[in-house]
Amino acid sequence: MSAWRRPAFRRLGTAWTFSNFGDSALILTLGIWAKDLTGSNAAAGLVFLALGLPVFFAPLAGHIADRVSRRRLVIVVNAIAALGVLVLLSVRSVDQLWLIYVVTFGYGCVGYLTSAAQSGLLRDMLADDELAAANGTLSTIDQGLRLLTPLVGAGLYTLFGGAAVAVLTSAMLAVAAVAMVTVRVDETPASPSGERERFVREVAAGVRHIRSVPGLAQTVLLVGVAFAATGLANSTIWAVIDDGLELGSEFFGVLASIQGGGSVLGGLTAAWLIRRGGERMAIGAGLALLAVGMATGLVAVVAVVTVGAAVLGVGVVWMVVGLVTLRQRLTPARLQGRVSAATNMALNGPQAAGTATGAALIAAVDYRILVAVMAASIAVCAALALVRALQQARFDAVSTEPGAVLNAPEPI
């Protein structure tokens, strides 16, 4: 049965749509707002640093999501965020710039809390064979909104200022909270207090689970290395546009839209791919497309780079949906929040390091060298992931034969 036929998932998807609409409209606007107040590119860049720093609190967010009602947590967090965003109405000049950073940091924390809670909710409301379609659907909604909402946010900001965008985002979060109130799901209860371990061990339970599941740790590691490599793209993309294609920086918006279109296609096809080849095959194929998309930056031809952006969009979504579905399927409901948070930290932390490395190297190293290193690194990860997927497929095929007694394939 399709996940969308379940009322609980439809309502969760509605809440996801409204909250993501608010997210996409706000985040880009905050960077523009900081730049307009200060005239500084560094001030605008600090907005994205503030948004990324909460990754280090992700394990705590996962712990919280596994200790309370996840449905209530999403409702409360969205309601608090709806009020918190309105703090931006106080920003009038550069003297209140710090409020933008505080709100951005808080918004990043909200994202990790709701992501961890949502993972557990999906596990409780859906069967294993529905998870891929559900994750693909949510990814399609997310990527589809990113084609539209930045334009809405930028348009509102240009016409009415940042306060109007803050009010819009607050309204979207409030609607998301109301939509979550209507969700009915039998949640897995948290472990009784008498069965709990020391706080540090409880928080780290997600990492321990990933390490204990055969093949899951290796898969997360491969994707983490690929994410670290993609961090270089945050610096090299501007050089590809300026030095390679000899176009203005506004062409970045065109590439972003084309990548978003590819991501929508990836979301629509991810469940089909997983049904045909499994989650690990989707991860390997996604990494392969990601490497190809990145490598097109070496070719100073607009058409090639444009096609590469679309390919990259498909690959990112296949990789992410495959990993999220695999992680959800191999994780008990009581650990979903912490394992989700641990995975996010394992991916986003290295990506942040890759971004910092790219920013430091781009002025001294030819961008084509960085693009080549990036594409080659991701290609190696793709090859290893595909080998692992084929090993698992052979094991699954043989293990279904009558009388078969096998050990699971060794990790790569």
How many domains does the structure of the chain reveal? 2
The answer as to whether 186 is a domain residue is: no
Instruction: Please state which of the ranges 31-35, 91-95, 126-130, 407-411 shows the lowest mean pLDDT.
Output: 407-411
Angle (deg, nearest 10), helices 367-399 and 279-295: 160
Q: Give the pLDDT confidence of 282-291 residue by residue, as tens digits.
A: 999 999 999 9
Q: What is the pLDDT of residue 404?
A: 47
Q: Which of 94, 111, 329, 118 is nearest to 209 (CA)?
A: 329
Are 5 and 148 part of one and the same domain? yes
The answer as to whether 63 is a domain residue is: yes
Give the long-range contacts of residues 92-99, CB within 8 A, separation 24 or more. Answer: 93/37, 94/37, 94/38, 97/34, 97/37, 97/38, 97/43
The answer as to whether 196 is a domain residue is: no
Whole-angstrom distance, CA of residue 109 vs CA of residue 53: 9
Are 338 and 234 part of one and the same domain? yes
CATH for 177: 1.20.1250.20
The answer as to whether 152 is a domain residue is: yes
The answer as to whether 192 is a domain residue is: no
The answer as to whether 409 is a domain residue is: no
Query: Does position 335 have pLDDT exceeding 90, yes or no?
Result: no
Query: Does position 307 have pLDDT exceeding 90, yes or no?
Result: yes
Are 173 and 294 part of one and the same domain? no
Are 38 and 124 part of one and the same domain? yes
CB 362 within 8 A of CB 236: yes
Q: Give the pLDDT confidence of 136-154 residue by residue, as tens digits.
A: 888 888 878 877 787 788 7
Query: Does position 245 have pLDDT exceeding 60, yes or no?
Result: yes
Which amino acid is located at 379 in the chain?
A
Which amino acid is located at 388 in the chain?
R
Are 231 and 149 part of one and the same domain? no
Are 211 and 153 part of one and the same domain? no
Q: Give the pLDDT confidence of 355-405 residue by residue, as tens digits.
A: 778 877 877 888 899 999 999 999 999 999 999 888 877 766 665 555 544
Q: Mean pLDDT throughout 246-275? A: 84
The answer as to whether 59 is a domain residue is: yes
Determine how many CB atoms are found less than 10 A away from the CB of residue 256: 16
- The torsion defined by the Cα of 203, 179, 165 and 139, in degrees rounded to 10, comes to 60
Average pLDDT over the chain reads 85
Whole-angstrom distance, CA of residue 247 vs CA of residue 234: 17
Determine how many CB atoms are found less than 10 A away from the CB of residue 323: 24
Are 304 and 255 part of one and the same domain? yes
Whole-angstrom distance, CA of residue 274 vs CA of residue 322: 7
Are 214 and 155 part of one and the same domain? no
Are 168 and 228 part of one and the same domain? no
If one compares 293 and 233, the residue with the highest pLDDT of the two is 293
Are 333 and 366 part of one and the same domain? yes
CB 81 within 8 A of CB 104: no
Are 272 and 148 part of one and the same domain? no
Token pair in block for residue 347: 């991916």
Whole-angstrom distance, CA of residue 132 vs CA of residue 323: 10
The answer as to whether 194 is a domain residue is: no
If one compares 111 and 193, the residue with the highest pLDDT of the two is 111
Report which secondary-structure segment, H or E, holds 7: helix 7-38
Whole-angstrom distance, CA of residue 136 vs CA of residue 144: 12
Are 166 and 286 part of one and the same domain? no
Q: Which of 348, 330, 345 is nearest to 62 (CA)?
A: 345
Which range of residues forms the domain containing residue 357?
205-402
